[in-house]
Amino acid sequence: MESIAFYVFAALTVAGALLVVSCKNPVSSALALVLTFFSTAVLFILLLAQFIAVIQVLVYAGAIMVLFLFTVMFLNLREEALRFDARNIPIKMGILILILIVSGYFAKVGFKKAFIGAPLSHPEIFGTVQGVGEVLFRDYLLPFELTSILIVVAILGVVAIAKRRLD
């Protein structure tokens, strides 16, 4: 049951990702990205990360995608011609895939005997709001507070960029 769900939603995730990079219309790409994020949220639930799944839907599929769609529609983009730089892409992608295969080989060597199903640190609260919150606010309080500084800087940056009069 769990493996069927994994394969179905992994296939949906990959299909959505392929649509993102292959659709001509940016609106279609954005909607395919929503599909990818929702399928990923289901995968997070399979990984016993309920809180993360909810965050994924709220922040990614909600806030970030609204931002993308708003920008695409605000700018009223024409459909771009899909041009491919046929000479360089195989080389670049080949190098990238080679790096990833090598790293994947080392990951496989390292985790050969390790399967999901390892004992959980706190089985009853694993992945819930309580569990994540305890780790977040006990062990990682300073990084958590620092992310708020990051967000403030991002807000200030966006306001500074957007308010600048172009003349």
Partner 1 sequence: MMSISIGHYLVLSVILFIIGAYGVITRKNLIVILMSLELMLNAANIAFVAFSRQFGDMTGQVFMIMAITVAAAETAVGLAFVVTTYIYHGTLDIDVLKLLKG
Q: Supply the minimum distance, in Å, between the C-beta of residue 45 and partner 1.
A: 10
Strands (E), 5-125: none
Q: Supply the minimum distance, in Å, between the C-beta of residue 70 and partner 1.
A: 8
Q: Supply the minimum distance, in Å, between the C-beta of residue 125 and partner 1.
A: 9
**What is the chain's Cα-based Rg?**
20
Q: Supply the minimum distance, in Å, between the C-beta of residue 109 and partner 1.
A: 11
Give one word for 110, left, alpha or beta, with left for phi > 0 and alpha for psi -120 to 50.
alpha
Please state, in angstroms and as integers, the Cα–Cα distance from residue 21 to each residue in 83, 95, 109, 119, following that order: 12, 19, 32, 39
Measured CA angle at 127 (ends 121, 132), to 5 deg: 85
Q: Which one, of 83, 68, 75, 80, lies nearest residue 31 by Cα?
A: 68
